[in-house]
Amino acid sequence: MAERRFDPTRLPGFATVAVAVFVLLYLPIATLVAYSFNGGDSVAVWGGFSLDWYGRAWANETVKAAALRSVVIAACASALATTLATLAAVGVVRNRRMKGRAVVYMAINQPLMVPEIVTAVALLIFFASVRQFTGYQGLGYLIAAHAAFCVPFAYLPISARLEGMDATLEAAAADLYATPRQAFRHVTLPLLTPGIIAGAMLAFVISLDDVVITEFVKSAGQDTLPTYMLAQMRRGVSPEVNAISTMLLMVTVVLLTAFFIINKQTNRGKQ
Amino acid sequence: MSAGQGQANRTSWSLAAPALALLLIGSIGPLLIVLVYSFMTPGDYSGVQRPFTTQAWEQVFLTRDIFDDTLGWADAHMTIFWRSVKLSVLTAVITFLLGLPTAWFIATRPPDRRALWLFLITIPFWTNLLIRTIAINEIIRNEGLLNQVLLKLGVIGAPLQILYTDTAVLIGMAYVYLPMMVLPMYAAIDRFDTRLLEAAYDLFANRWQALWHVVLPVIRPGILAGSILVFVPSLGAYVTPRVLGGGKNMMIGNFIELQFGQGQNWPLGAALAVLLLIAVGLALTVYVRVLGGAGRADG
């Protein structure tokens, strides 16, 4: 054959580009992590390895308060979103002929489709009125806003788990005179737990990382770590922000690795 | 419908109700209020007041000359819209050019190693977008890695001012949204049955014919999904243009914020937000249509 065949596994140019892409993906993050260990005061020159910036970030009361606030909001919002997503998934997934199923599905996934900046200003407007009306100034607004955009992320692994589950087990429980509540408590819920944990972890990470909606919903003195970092970036790079980023990065990587391990075991359990 | 199904539906709805209520308060309801606000008059200091008017919507596109009261195109707004669309399209193109070989590479790895490559794409995908933007800032700033390397190599005599330009925003968005392009394309390529290629060659197709008529139709849904997943968040980007574009190189997301901050024109901000929502809705509709059309052609 005169012409060479197109072999999908052997495209030399493709492999080169792909490897370059992987390098380009990780180089900036690696640089950021490296700079967070920079001992010098200058942001340009390498002044030797040091944990100085971590110490300064740790000693900074504003940073500590922001970190605590981030965790509190993420914990509350992910707990709320996961609980409500679980209920919704249990209600919707098994009832294939449910009237208005598409509407529920659209509503749950709506936060994924609307640009964050639009939701952010919408919440700014809405909560401004609620603030004026009720006088309440607490973290409730941020928790409600975070919980809402976390719902689709919590819903996804839970509904996937439910769809993969054997519906006959619940039928067997019913045959053995379990009430729907008992069947849920003793059969469905234990089987669903890995999905719920995975959903809660995703929701937690999503909440922890949020910038835009938090930036618009928070009132004065309610900075989370990401909005604190965003404000710092207005003054250009700072090694302190690099140190905070690195710590936040670690949390994300640990949670995601745990998520993948749980998911893998869950899938293995299915086979 | 049987009585049993009716009962089941009531149970389903009551179980979904709390989640729907949360979404109504925390997202859907406020979006409807934005629509209402876009038809109101700016308040004296901030917020809105009556009467209801289409003034804000006029302001989006038109500007009234303060001297002779004639209407003209709002050039400043057009510049921002054009920059948003241009940068979003370019981001989609760049991520496609880099993403296709990457997705192809991952999909053609031996199965035992594929998971690792995928994981390497997924980690940046789940990493905080702000952190990734700050990381790009570390590379392209005047004292950053890129300029240092170029200076050392003698390619340039003075640091390149990349930061706070459109190029910086483009680099940043391409960087942060690249995984969104790779993942759906990988999913599509992974489904590709290589025996189809053998069949094509047996039927005397040349390489380009095989690529065009056999490979492309199968991976097209992945390319479309990736493009929309990059284009839509790029169009509504806020963090990346704010950090890398500085104050001057606004995209529509930053311009919306301006109306709620210094601008003190909530109705205009609301109208711009609705406009962005419509643009995203259109992009998604086109996507669904094209995908539906492709599905029919395949079927």
pLDDT digits (tens, 9 = 90+) for B13-46: 999 999 999 999 999 999 999 999 999 998 887 7
Regarding whether A29 and A76 lie in a shared domain, the answer is no
The partner residue sitting opposite A98, judged by closest CB among B12, B101, B148, is B12
Cβ neighbours, 10 Å, residue A231: 13
CA distance A53 to A32: 13
pLDDT higher at B214 or A115: A115
> What superfamily would CATH give domain B75-298?
MetI-like (1.10.3720.10)
Across the interface, whether the CB atoms of B207 and A6 are under 8 A apart is answered: yes
What is the model's pTM?
0.90
**What are the boundaries of each domain within chain B?**
1-29, 75-298
Regarding whether A124 and A35 lie in a shared domain, the answer is no
> Looking at the predicted structure, is the pLDDT value of residue B69 above 80?
no
- CATH code of the domain covering residue A81: 1.10.3720.10
Chain B hits for A79, CB-CB cut-off 8 Å, are none
Regarding whether A234 and A194 lie in a shared domain, the answer is yes
Chain A hits for B235, CB-CB cut-off 8 Å, are 115
Q: Does B262 touch chain A (CB under 8 A)?
A: no
CA distance B122 to B273: 30
Please report the pLDDT score of residue B92 as a whole number.
97
Instruction: Write out A231-255 in H/E/C secondary structure.
Output: HHHCCCCCHHHHHHHHHHHHHHHHH
Regarding whether A80 and A207 lie in a shared domain, the answer is yes
Regarding whether A217 and A264 lie in a shared domain, the answer is yes
Please report the pLDDT score of residue B282 as a whole number.
94
Residue A85 lies in a domain: yes
Please report the pLDDT score of residue A1 as a whole number.
43
Residues 192-211 of B with CB under 8 A from A: 192, 194, 197, 201, 206-207, 210-211
For B221, the token pair is 């849904």
Please report the pLDDT score of residue A257 as a whole number.
82
Interface test with A, best of B25, B27, B102 (most A CBs within 10 A): B27
Contact B13, A103 (CB under 8 A): no
Mean pLDDT of A173-195: 87
CA distance B33 to B67: 35
The alpha-helical segments, DSSP class H, found in B74-110 are: 75-107
Please report the pLDDT score of residue B297 as a whole number.
44
Cβ neighbours, 10 Å, residue A271: 4
Cβ contacts below 8 Å, chain A against chain B, sum to 266
CA distances from B206 to A10, B185, B192 (A): 16, 24, 18
For A44, the token pair is 């340009």
Kindly indicate whether the ipTM for this predicted assembly is greater than 0.95, answering yes or no: no
Residues 32-71 of B with CB under 8 A from A: 33-34, 37, 47
The partner residue sitting opposite A205, judged by closest CB among B19, B126, B276, is B126
How many Å lie between the alpha carbon of A251 and the closest alpha carbon of chain B?
10
Mean pLDDT of B136-141: 92
Binning pLDDT at 50, 70 and 90, where does residue B197 land?
A: confident
CA distance B63 to B74: 5
Contact A250, B151 (CB under 8 A): no
The mean of the pLDDT values for chain A is 88
CA distance B61 to B80: 11
Please report the pLDDT score of residue B298 as a whole number.
44
The partner residue sitting opposite B134, judged by closest CB among A17, A101, A233, is A233
> Looking at the predicted structure, is the pLDDT value of residue A173 above 70?
yes
> Looking at the predicted structure, is the pLDDT value of residue A6 above 80?
no
Binning pLDDT at 50, 70 and 90, where does residue B2 land?
A: low
Cβ neighbours, 10 Å, residue B190: 15
Mean pLDDT of B156-163: 90
Collapse the DSSP code of B27 into the 3-class scheme (helix H, G, I; strand E, B; otherwise coil) and give the result: helix
> Looking at the predicted structure, is the pLDDT value of residue B47 above 90?
no
Q: What is the pLDDT of residues A39-98, one digit of tens each?
A: 876 666 777 788 888 888 889 999 999 999 999 999 999 999 999 999 999 999 888 888
CA distance A241 to A248: 10
> Looking at the predicted structure, is the pLDDT value of residue B299 above 50?
no
Binning pLDDT at 50, 70 and 90, where does residue A264 land?
A: confident
Mean pLDDT of B219-232: 92
Please report the pLDDT score of residue A44 as a whole number.
66
Mean pLDDT of B274-284: 95
How many Å lie between the alpha carbon of A201 and the closest alpha carbon of chain B?
12
When mean pLDDT is compared across A105-114, B187-196, B259-268, the lowest value belongs to B187-196
pLDDT higher at A181 or B176: B176
Residue A177 lies in a domain: yes
- Residue B63 host element (H or E): strand B62-64
The partner residue sitting opposite A252, judged by closest CB among B126, B136, B232, is B126
Please report the pLDDT score of residue A43 as a whole number.
64
pLDDT higher at A237 or B142: B142
Contact B247, B238 (CB under 8 A): no
Residue A1 lies in a domain: no
Residue B123, amino acid: I
Binning pLDDT at 50, 70 and 90, where does residue B294 land?
A: low
pLDDT higher at B233 or A4: B233
> Looking at the predicted structure, is the pLDDT value of residue B243 above 90?
yes
Mean pLDDT of B52-56: 89
Please report the pLDDT score of residue B272 as a whole number.
96
For B252, the token pair is 């529509």
Beta-ladder partners of A77: none
Helix axes A239-270, A52-59, angle to 10 degrees: 90
How many Å lie between the alpha carbon of B67 and the closest alpha carbon of chain A?
33
The partner residue sitting opposite B33, judged by closest CB among A9, A125, A209, is A125
Please report the pLDDT score of residue A197 as a whole number.
92
How many Å lie between the alpha carbon of B9 and the closest alpha carbon of chain A?
5
Regarding whether A149 and A65 lie in a shared domain, the answer is yes
Across the interface, whether the CB atoms of B131 and A29 are under 8 A apart is answered: yes
> Looking at the predicted structure, is the pLDDT value of residue B88 above 70?
yes
Regarding whether A230 and A159 lie in a shared domain, the answer is yes
> Looking at the predicted structure, is the pLDDT value of residue A206 above 50?
yes
Q: Give the structural domain span for A17.
A: 12-50
pLDDT higher at B109 or B88: B88
Binning pLDDT at 50, 70 and 90, where does residue A17 land?
A: very high
Chain B hits for A258, CB-CB cut-off 8 Å, are none
The partner residue sitting opposite B276, judged by closest CB among A44, A100, A118, is A118
Residue A2 lies in a domain: no
Mean pLDDT of B177-183: 95
Interface test with A, best of B20, B48, B134 (most A CBs within 10 A): B134
When mean pLDDT is compared across A115-124, B107-116, B191-200, the lowest value belongs to B191-200
> Looking at the predicted structure, is the pLDDT value of residue A4 above 60?
no
Residue A217 lies in a domain: yes
Q: Does B93 touch chain A (CB under 8 A)?
A: no
The partner residue sitting opposite A88, judged by closest CB among B19, B129, B138, is B19
> Looking at the predicted structure, is the pLDDT value of residue A270 above 90?
no
Across the interface, whether the CB atoms of A229 and B134 are under 8 A apart is answered: yes
Across the interface, whether the CB atoms of B11 and A233 are under 8 A apart is answered: no
Mean pLDDT of A155-182: 86
Q: Give the pairing type, strands B48-49 and B62-64.
A: unpaired
Regarding whether A183 and A227 lie in a shared domain, the answer is yes
Cβ neighbours, 10 Å, residue A175: 9
How many Å lie between the alpha carbon of B69 and the closest alpha carbon of chain A?
31
Regarding whether A206 and A72 lie in a shared domain, the answer is yes
Residue A182 lies in a domain: yes
**Percent of chain A at pLDDT exceeding 70:** 92
Please report the pLDDT score of residue B19 as a whole number.
96
